[in-house]
Structure 1
Amino acid sequence: MEPKDIAKRSAGNFLIFAGCAFILWILAAAVDWIAQIVRLSTPERLPALAASIVSSSTLQAIVAIWLLTAAVAIAFPRVLRPLSTTTTLMFDVGYGILGALTGFGIAIGLFGGGWSILLRALIYSAVIAVGYVAVRRWLSRDEFTMDGRTRWMAAGIIALASPFVLLWG
């Protein structure tokens, strides 16, 4: 599968999930408002949910997994072929999740809950996309077939970055 096809499908997943998450948040806010009227919920319920989404480590985990997978694929190119299907699936699911968090972030921000989840989702999405393009351009096909120091250095840097992103991203 071509990188452009992966990018198009990932972008589509991102937008679909973002739209669905935005609508879901609006529906949840409406249900919560009705529940508050009949005293089944409190005004703090939705802001507490927004706070838990913002403090979730889901984004960090997605980025850390992608980094480590990229490092393995760069260090051991023979693994790249069996990983290609898995990597495509990771991009689809991962960008879907980032899209959902973006949709939640937009809705949360519009309704006064702050913009931090949106900013984090967008920053991680941009970093992953730029990193993917940079690695594809920096490491040519020849570099993948040879035992080059550049390939090992890139894999090492990316592998070392993954636990830092998971812990402090």
Structure 2
Amino acid sequence: MEPKEIAKRSAGNFLIFAGCAFILWILAASIDWVAQVLRLSSPERLPALATSIVNSSTLQAIVAIWLLTAAFAIAFPKMLTPLSATTALMFDVGYGILGALAGFGIAIGLFGGGWSILLRAVIYSAIIAIGFIAVRMWLSREDLSADGQRRWTIAGVIALASPFVLLWG
């Protein structure tokens, strides 16, 4: 699959999930407001939910898994063909999740819950896109098929970065 096709599909997934998440948050806020009027909910319910979303390690896990899978595909290029469907699926699902978190982040920010979740989703999305482009620029198809030190070095750096992102991202 071509990088432009992956980028288009990933961007589409990101935007669709962002829009749906934004609408979902607005609907949840409306229902919570009615529940507060009926004394079935407290004013802290929605801010507590926003806090739990922001503190979630989902973003870190997605990026860490992407990094380790990329390192594996670079280190063992013969696995790249079987991994191509998995990699495309990871991009689709991953950017969908990042889009959903961005949509939640926009809605949470608009309702005074802070912008940190949107900022994290956008930063991680940009880092993944830049990393994908950088690896494509540094490693040609020939580099992947050759057993060179450059391929192993890049794979090693990416593999070592993945647990750090998971723990402290």
Which bin holds the TM-score, normalised by the shorter protein? over 0.9
Give the total of aligned pairs: 169
Cα distance between partner residues in 1 of 2:6 and 2:156: 25
Q: Report the counterpart of residue 83 of structure 2 in structure 1.
A: 83
Cα distance between partner residues in 1 of 2:121 and 2:59: 7
| Cα-Cα RMSD | 0.4
Q: Report the counterpart of residue 29 of structure 1 in structure 2.
A: 29
SS, match of residue 56 in structure 2: coil
SS, match of residue 147 in structure 2: coil
Q: Report the counterpart of residue 143 of structure 1 in structure 2.
A: 143
Q: Report the counterpart of residue 3 of structure 1 in structure 2.
A: 3
| TM-score normalised to structure 2 length | 0.99
CA deviation after TM superposition for structure 1 residue 76, in Å: 0.2
Cα distance between partner residues in 2 of 1:124 and 1:168: 13
Q: Report the counterpart of residue 51 of structure 1 in structure 2.
A: 51
Q: Report the counterpart of residue 115 of structure 2 in structure 1.
A: 115
| TM-score normalised to structure 1 length | 0.99
Q: Report the counterpart of residue 14 of structure 1 in structure 2.
A: 14
Cα distance between partner residues in 2 of 1:145 and 1:17: 36
The amino acid across from 1:51 in the alignment is T
SS, match of residue 154 in structure 2: helix
CA deviation after TM superposition for structure 1 residue 6, in Å: 1.0
Q: Report the counterpart of residue 42 of structure 1 in structure 2.
A: 42
Instruction: List runs of 5+ in structure 2 lacking aligned partners.
Output: none
Q: Report the counterpart of residue 102 of structure 1 in structure 2.
A: 102
1:94-125 deviation per Cα after TM superposition (whole angstroms, max 9, x unaligned): 00000000000000001000000000000000
The amino acid across from 1:56 in the alignment is S
CA deviation after TM superposition for structure 1 residue 74, in Å: 0.3
Q: Report the counterpart of residue 124 of structure 1 in structure 2.
A: 124
Instruction: List runs of 5+ in structure 1 lacking aligned partners.
Output: none
Cα distance between partner residues in 2 of 1:147 and 1:69: 19
Identity of aligned residues (%): 81
Cα distance between partner residues in 1 of 2:12 and 2:61: 22
The amino acid across from 1:52 in the alignment is S
Q: Report the counterpart of residue 153 of structure 1 in structure 2.
A: 153
